C-alpha cells in the first residue's frame, strides 16, 4: 500500500509539473508583440527622474521571453535596453542589458501576472549590487516594468524606473 501511495504521489507531482509548465507557456506567449509607452527613469537615487518614451519588441516561446527596446529622454538621449529570460517551471533566470554598469544577471519567479526578479548589477549602484525588477502583464495588452532599489542614504526602497507599455 505504501508503494502505491508513493506511486500516486509521484504521478500527481508529474501532472502538477506539466500543468505548471503549460500555464507558464501560455503566460509567456501572451507577451509576444510590439509595445510602446512612457515612464520615468532615475539613474541613481540622488538624481531627479527623467521622463522617457519607449518602444519594445517582445519575443516569446514556451520557455523564454525577450524584451528588446529603446527608451528616449531629455530630447536626444537614447538607450537600448533588453532583458532575456529563460523559464524553468516558474523560476526565471536571464540577463538585463542597458545599465551603464554593464550586463546584469536576473533571477526570480512568477507570482500571478508578474515575474519578480532580483537584479545583480555588474558594479555597485546606489551603494550595493542588488535591485528588484518586476515584469507585470497588465490585462491583454499591457506590460509594466518597474525597478525598485534601496536609497543608500535612507535605507528605504525607491522606484528608480517605471515604464508602462501598451501593445501597438
Give pLDDT tens digits for 81-96: 999 999 998 899 999 9
pLDDT in tens, 133-148: 999 999 999 999 999 9
Asked whether 53 and 75 are in contact (CB, 8 A), the reply is no
What would the CATH number be for the domain defined by 2-167?
2.40.128.20
What is the rounded distance in angstroms from the CA atom of residue 72 to the CA atom of residue 18? 41
Domain locations in the chain as residue ranges: 2-167
Burial of 126 (0-12, 13-18, 19+ CB in 10 A): buried
The proportion of the chain whose per-residue pLDDT surpasses 70, expressed as a percent, equals 86
Q: Return the CA Rg of the chain.
A: 18
pTM of the model: 0.83
Distances (CA, A) of 145 to 32, 40, 102: 15, 10, 19
| Averaged confidence pLDDT in the chain | 85
Amino acid at each position: 500500500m505504501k508503494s502505491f501511495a508513493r506511486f500516486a504521489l509521484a504521478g500527481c507531482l508529474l501532472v502538477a509539473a506539466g500543468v505548471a509548465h503549460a500555464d507558464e507557456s501560455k503566460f509567456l506567449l501572451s507577451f509576444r508583440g510590439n509595445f510602446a509607452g512612457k515612464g520615468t527613469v532615475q539613474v541613481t537615487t540622488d538624481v531627479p527622474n527623467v521622463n522617457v518614451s519607449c518602444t519594445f519588441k517582445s519575443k516569446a516561446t514556451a520557455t523564454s521571453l525577450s524584451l528588446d527596446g529603446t527608451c528616449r529622454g531629455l530630447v536626444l538621449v537614447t538607450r537600448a535596453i533588453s532583458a532575456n529570460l529563460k523559464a524553468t517551471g516558474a523560476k526565471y533566470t536571464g540577463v538585463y542589458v542597458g545599465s551603464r554598469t554593464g550586463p546584469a544577471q536576473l533571477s526570480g519567479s512568477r507570482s500571478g501576472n508578474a515575474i519578480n526578479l532580483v537584479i545583480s548589477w555588474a558594479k555597485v549602484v546606489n551603494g550595493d549590487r542588488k535591485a528588484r525588477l518586476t515584469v507585470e502583464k497588465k490585462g491583454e495588452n499591457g506590460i509594466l516594468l518597474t525597478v525598485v532599489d534601496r536609497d543608500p542614504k535612507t535605507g528605504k526602497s525607491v522606484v528608480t524606473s517605471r515604464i508602462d507599455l501598451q501593445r501597438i
